[in-house]
Amino acid sequence: MDLLELRADFLRPEEAVLAGALPARIDLPVILTIRRTREGGRFSADERDRVHLLSRLAGSGFSFFDLEEDLDSPSLDGLIAEAGATVIRSFHDRDGVPADLVQRVASLARSAREVPKAAVTPRGSSDLLRLLEAFRSLERVPKVLLGMGDYGFPTRVLAPKLGSLFCYTSPPGELAAPGHIDPESLDEMYRYHGITSDTGVYGVIGNPVMHSMSPTIHNRGLAALQRNAVYLPFLVDELAPFFRAADILDIQGLSVTIPHKENVMSLLERADQEATASGACNTVHRGPDGKWEGTNTDPAGFLSPLLEAFGGSFPSGLRATVIGAGGASRAIVHALVRNGARVLILNRTLDRARRLARVFNVQAAPLDESGLSLVAGFSDLIVQATSVGMPPRTADDPVAGYRFSGREVAYDLVYVPETTRFLSRALAAGCTIIRGRQMLLEQAFEQFRIFTGSEYPDEAKREIETRIESRYLS
């Protein structure tokens, strides 16, 4: 059921008194909310004025009234009941997830006609786990329960699966609360109206991750196959509690991005040769026994556009510089060495670069002037494999002191923005460049096959390539 919430606290006083005209003008049940500033709203006048306004609007045809747990006005409750409306009795915690969340939600409603609502703010993966455990404990309780902010985002999209009566949205650019998604994205990308308790869940884990294009790619493929499944971004700071949360959600597969590609290996029951050889994993999925298995589609995704740039074959004696020593770098160095390239690894932390270099028997140097002076001997290909250049550091360049000659192939794994500062300088010097979205698509299509057992649909592939191109150029 679709609803409309009127946030009358966003209205000017002269507009708010006219709010009662709205319910008769639309063909949807309407929730009236007048939120105080201390709960994140905009109503800053005296509390008596707020109660008076709510009482004045009680008989105007609103189907629901959102009233805070500490609002004690028997006369207002009586007016709402007389109008045949329902009270949503709510509390908001903008600082975290309270330890007594289950008890508070269970005791919120003052009568069988009231609906309890709690909006809390997970500050990390442990908080998300606590919130999902609360959903499980309150499984039989009709309620609205949601997490605010990026860590709580999955609870909004998965509200029907988790047993929350509804979630909240806001128009683009006009978010009424942290973590709101716009209605169009919720319905078109995540197919919210089709989500049920049986809907399969996939996602991407990282930090940061909310910018990821992976949900756009995977959800379009799932829709084309008409699968009852959805793919979400999960902001993750700690892997262990998140994987316990993944069990509650019955997540079937995950893409893994910065900074978890190496550490996730310790949580897997099994890892294939591609993951163990590179020492990093970008794809985990449930095996036949329900245990987590891992692989790495980054090497294949990395090589595909590179081979295209080289005319279809890998050049003999290629000398390459890889900037960074994280999980993505491990996969790339593995792919390059496997194809006979000589590699130099540059990293801000020299010890980390040396550890990676020892694994593959390649050269390492610090990411400073001394290291940059070595790049000339490894400049057929320069791969930027750090998060530098991603929002909010879009103006940064990890090798700002290096001067491109124009003979290099410059490859940046960052895909938002499309042309980073690193690639802009390479392009200006006349270099061949490879953008991160090319690798993104290739590795994602392989992940999709692993998750679903089906190839990424051709019609969806054409559409998603056009959509991403349009997004980059807009």
Task: List the chain domain ranges.
Answer: 299-434
pLDDT of 473 reads: 44
Mean pLDDT confidence for 46-65? 97
Q: Rounded to 5 degrees, what angle do the CA atoms 336, 338, 341 make?
A: 45
Structure tokens at 76: 């207002």
- Phi, psi dihedrals of residue 343, rounded to the nearest 5°: -130, 140
pTM score: 0.89
How far, in whole angstroms, is CA 134 from its chain's centroid?
22
What is the rounded distance in angstroms from the CA atom of residue 149 to the CA atom of residue 233? 12
pLDDT of 465 reads: 82
Mean pLDDT, the chain, as a whole number?
Answer: 95
pLDDT of 471 reads: 59
In the chain, the percentage of residues whose pLDDT exceeds 90 is 91
What is the rounded distance in angstroms from the CA atom of residue 448 to the CA atom of residue 466? 18
What is the rounded distance in angstroms from the CA atom of residue 9 to the CA atom of residue 375? 59
Strand 283-286 relative to strand 251-256, pairing = antiparallel
pLDDT of 297 reads: 96
Catalytic machinery residues: 261
Please tell me whether the peptide bond between 417 and the residue prior to it is cis, using omega within 30 degrees of 0: yes
Strand (E) or helix (H) holding 202: strand 200-206
Is the CATH number 3.50.50.60 carried by domain 299-434?
no
With a cut of 90, say whether residue 251 has pLDDT above it: yes
DSSP 235-254: E-S-HHHHHHHHHHHTEEEE
With a cut of 80, say whether residue 188 has pLDDT above it: yes
The 10s digit of each residue's pLDDT in 64-119 is 999 999 999 999 999 999 999 999 999 999 999 999 999 999 999 999 999 999 99
Mean pLDDT confidence for 177-197? 94
Listed in sequence order, the DSSP H helices in 138-260 are 149-157, 159-162, 183-188, 214-224, 239-249
Residue predicted with more confidence, 289 or 470: 289
